[in-house]
Structure 1
Amino acid sequence: MKIPSLYILIPNEGAVIIMFSSQVMHTLVPLLFEGLKITLLVAITGIAIGFIIGCLSGFALQSNNKFAKTISGVYVWVIRGTPVIVQALYVYFVLPKIFNFDLPSNIAGIIVIAINSGAFISEIVRGALMGVDPGQREAGLSLGMSNVHILVHLVIPPAFRSALPALGNQFIMSVKDTSLLTVIVVKEMTQQAMNYASINFDYVNTYSVLALFYLALLSILMLLQKYIENKFNLKK
């Protein structure tokens, strides 16, 4: 099947032509789809682990256990206070050097997304728990419910609903953060585009197609986020 060429004229001081030729589309698009698989693998796996870390850390920040609260507070402070790209370099280059082991780039990428998203999710969870009406717990105690039952039935459901928009935003941010993993050679979409551009020197067309890929992907994720939010709002 022949892929048609697409020409876009952008007026400027001099005319700039973005030419999505059949050659570019035929070669680059399959590479980006390969990168998309890695992007989604790293993002979904990383944020799934990060969600677990964030929930545990968020509960710890709200607990009366000083040790757990301190550990969680230091973790959040360190991760939120350092850029993702520095975390990636540290996980991929420094930790294997210190502990003398090999770490595949994809695994390193998942670890980076997990610990980074976990720190932000912990704050989301902490804020959501703080937003739950204290009367819920008091009502549960008055009915003779255990702390576990109060947490599961009266605290977590409203906290989760209130945290859902922020969790969706964090997932989208984590997908975008995967582009920074090019520094540790994770072969996601940006790395694939950079490799292609370095061979063909066609930077304008390559990065224009890459931008459209990200725009399409993130638009789909934003629509999915809205759908899930509306679905849960109906159950309030």
Structure 2
Amino acid sequence: MHDLIEHLMELTTSPHWGGVLPYLIEGIQITLYITFIGVFFGLILGIVTGLARLSKSKIIYGLATCYIEVIRGTPILVQVLFIYFALADFFGITFDHLTAGIIAIAINAGAYVAEIVRGGVASIDKGQMEAGRSIGLSSFQTMRYIIWPQALKRMIPPLGNQFIISLKDTSLFAVISTGEAVFMGRQYVATTGVYFEPYFMMGLVYLSITIPCMIILRAYERKLDV
């Protein structure tokens, strides 16, 4: 017991708490950069694909479904390895670490956003479309002014959750040496041989981002319930 207390006291005074911070700060900046840009393009891709899943055209519906099922059925780790290594090996298409990470997040998030969009739009009563058409609006105008605003309110909570998931998924990009938070933390570990402080601080850094996001989402969901 005495040895445990001494060890804990040593941890509280360890210089590694502050030493790892510059590494993690640099890494989290890259993490947020990849996440925001990747999710932005994933949102665009997801909206297009989600609406395609509602198309009456069998070809458009089939292509959208194929993309969603393939991406949702494979881990993002496999996807980023394919983008970074396999495309360069087979097609000669090369991407740097950062670009490969952004593409992986965009493609992966796009598949999940597509299902969120499809579910959100499908949840609106079909009578809304008929009502819009009955007052002279086209299908596009009815979707834009009547269906989409209602569906978007329902989609915001799951979209927020997808952002958090994509943020955490960037930690896997350490395998291609992308300089995000986990990779930078591991760099500090490799330099110092210290494990506890870097990995503990790494967890705190992620929590400092995800917990506020979750609090905002829960508050928004309660507002919707009211």
Partner of 1:208: 200
1:25 shift after superposition: 2.7
* Aligned mates of 1:114, 1:88 — CA distance in 2: 11
Within 2, Cα distance between the matches of 1:53 and 1:16?
A: 51
CA distance in 2, matches of 1:50, 1:156: 18
> Shift of the alpha carbon at 1:26?
2.7
Q: Deviations over 1:20-54 (max 9, x none)?
A: 54521332101111111100000010000000111
Matches within 5 A, 1:134-145: 134-145=126-137
Q: Return 5+ residue gaps in structure 1 as ranges.
A: 1-8
Q: Which has the higher contact order (CA 8 A, sep 6+)?
A: 2
Equivalent residue, structure 1, for 2:57: 65
Is 2:166 aligned against 1:174? yes
Residues 38 and 20 of structure 1: CA distance in aligned 2, closer, same or farther (over 3 Å): farther
The CA deviation string for residues 65-113 of structure 1, in whole angstroms up to 9 with x for no partner, is 1111111111111101111111111111001222213311000000000
Question: Distance in 2 between the 1:61 and 1:101 partners?
Answer: 30
Q: Is the partner of 2:93 in helix, strand or coil?
A: coil
Aligned equivalents of 2:157 and 2:51: distance in 1? 19
Residues 1:165 and 2:157 aligned together: yes
Give the total of aligned pairs.
Answer: 223
Q: Distance in 1 between matches of 2:195 and 2:181?
A: 15
Tell me, in whole angstroms, the C-alpha distance in 1 between the residues paired with 2:11 and 2:44. Answer: 45
More helix by share: 2
Residue 154 (str. 1) matches residue 153 (str. 2): no
Among all aligned residue pairs of Structure 1 and Structure 2, give the percentage whose two residues are the same amino acid. Answer: 36
Unaligned runs of 5+ in 2: none
Partner of 2:46: 54
**Mapped contact 1:132–1:155 kept (Cα < 8 A):** yes
Q: Are residues 16 and 119 of structure 1, via their aligned partners in 2, closer, same or farther at CA, if it must alter by over 3 Å?
A: farther
TM-score (norm 2): 0.92
